[in-house]
Amino acid sequence: MATGTEPRAVAAGGVHHSSRAAIPERHLRRDRWWLAPAATAAGLLAFVVYSTWRAFAGDHYYAAPYVSPFYSPCLAENCVPMKGGADWGVVGAWWGLSPALLVLIFPLGFRLTCYYYRKAYYRGFWAAPAACAVPEPHARYTGETRFPLILQNIHRYFFYFAVIVAGILTYDTALGFRNADGEWGHMGLGTLVLLANIALIWAYTLSCHSCRHIVGGRLRNFSRHPVRYRLWGWVSRLNARHMQLAWASLISVAVADFYVYLIASGAFDDPRFF
């Protein structure tokens, strides 16, 4: 007697598997389901193109008192001198490529393993799936159980590094309150650009799912840890906007870099307020 609890024999296949309702179409969605993944892919691609150009360029990244977030901290000997900035030549002189490449690994790794960006590029680039109830084009699927995608689990390390990087960018932003001669108490449009950027970077970094877990999510009894419970509450509220913050901070970091580029290349003059 069937009870509805005995599983059927299994064979390979998705929605066209022999046991399923015989519907020739792979999916029957009629809305513009492709719009979101296409837009995501386009946005990410644009950033990749821009950042590749800027990261490899190795110039026009410092215009006192501003440093591009792509190039901070600047860890090679070939960095331009930054007045009081994070130009620590710890790597030495042998490094001949753009110094951005040394440090960009960390924010890149943070974003690459971020739970939101994973969704974005799995959907946008890998179509796994492109949209809900739209079949993916791959014959097999093992998710994040194997190399290399099992490495997504190291997101938390990148979070720790991202906090350090955000700290350094905060320092850079503070330096933005100087003038080109290094005197304090000044401000220009660039200061505002860096401020907006760092605010978004922090919001994005702190809204991270790993952060949410570390500050409190891993606890079983919130009532015994009132402070961490409160922190968890704040992070949770930020976390609800993780996607928006991911995009906003991605755009802001590119804008900040481009702003520095414009000034450093002389294409634009930073309006000074005082």
Partner 1 sequence: MTQVGRQSWDVVVVGAGGAGLRAAVEARERGLRVAVICKSLFGKAHTVMAEGGIAACMGNVNSKDNWKVHFRDTLRGGKFLNNWRMAELHAQEAPDRVWELETWGAVFDRTDRGMISQRNFGGHEYPRLAHVGDRTGLELIRTLQQKIVSLQQEDHKETGDYEARLKVFQECTVTRVLKDGDRVSGVFGYERESGRFFAIEAPSVVLATGGIGKSFKVTSNSWEYTGDGHALALLAGARLVNMEFVQFHPTGMVWPPSVKGILVTESVRGDGGVLRNSDGKRFMFDYIPDVFREKYADTEAEADRWYEDPDHNRRPPELLPRDEVARAINAEVKAGRGTPHGGVFLDVSTRMPAEAIKRKLPSMHHQFKELADVDITAEPMEVGPTCHYVMGGVEVAPDTAEAVGVPGLFAAGEVAGGLHGSNRLGGNSLSDLLVFGRRAGLYAAEYAASFGAGDRPAVSDADVELAEAEALRPFGAEGAEGAEQDPAQGPENPYAVHQELQQSMNDLVGIIRREPEMTEALRRLDGLRARARRAGVEGHRQFNPGWHLALDLRNMLLVSECVARAALERTESRGGHTRDDHPQMDREWRRINLVCRLVENTAGGAAAADPALGRIRLERQDMPPMRPDLLALFEKEELVKYLTDEELTS
Partner 2 sequence: MTYQGRFKVWRGDAEGGGLVDYEVDVHEGEVVLDIVHRIQATTAPDLAVRWNCKAGKCGSCSAEINGRPRLMCMTRMSVFDPAETITVTPMRAFPVLRDLVTDVSYNYTKAREVPSFVPPPGVKAGEYRMMQEDVNRVQEFRKCIECFLCQNTCHVVRDHEENKQVFAGPRFLMRIAELDMHPLDAAEETGTDRKRGAREEHGLGYCNITKCCTEVCPEHIRITDNALIPLKERVVDRSYDPLVWLGNRIGRRSR
CB 5 → partner 1: shortest distance, Å?
8
Strands 66-67 and 62-63 turn out to be antiparallel
What is the phi/psi pair of residue 188, to 5°? -140, 180
Helix (H, G, I), strand (E, B) or coil at 33: coil
Task: Kindly tell me which residue out of 35, 97, 150, 164 binds partner 2, with binding defined by CB under 8 A.
Answer: 150
Part in contact with partner 1 (CB under 8 A); list of ranges 3-11, 43-51, 95-103, 243-251: 3-11
The answer to the question of residue 23 lying near partner 2 (CB under 8 A) is: yes
Question: Which of positions 5-64 make contact with partner 1 (CB under 8 A)?
Answer: 5
Neighbouring CB atoms inside 10 A of 82's CB total: 21
Residue 148 found at the interface with partner 2 (CB under 8 A): no
131: closest CA among 27, 37, 15?
Answer: 37
- H helices of 63-133, where? 100-112, 115-124
Q: Which residue's CB is nearer to partner 2, number 112 or number 214? A: 214
**Among partner 1, partner 2, none, residue 53 binds (CB under 5-8 Å by kind):** none
Q: How many CA atoms lie within 13 A of 136 on its CB side?
A: 17
Contact map string, positions 184 to 223, toward partner 2, x by CB under 8 A: -------------------------xx-xxx--xxxxxxx
Query: What CA dihedral angle connects 63, 68, 72 and 77, to 10 degrees?
Result: -50
What residue ranges bind partner 2 (CB under 8 A)? 4-8, 10-15, 17, 19-23, 27-31, 115, 118-119, 122-123, 128-129, 132-133, 135-136, 138, 140-145, 149-150, 153-156, 160, 209-210, 212-214, 217-223, 225, 229, 239-240, 242
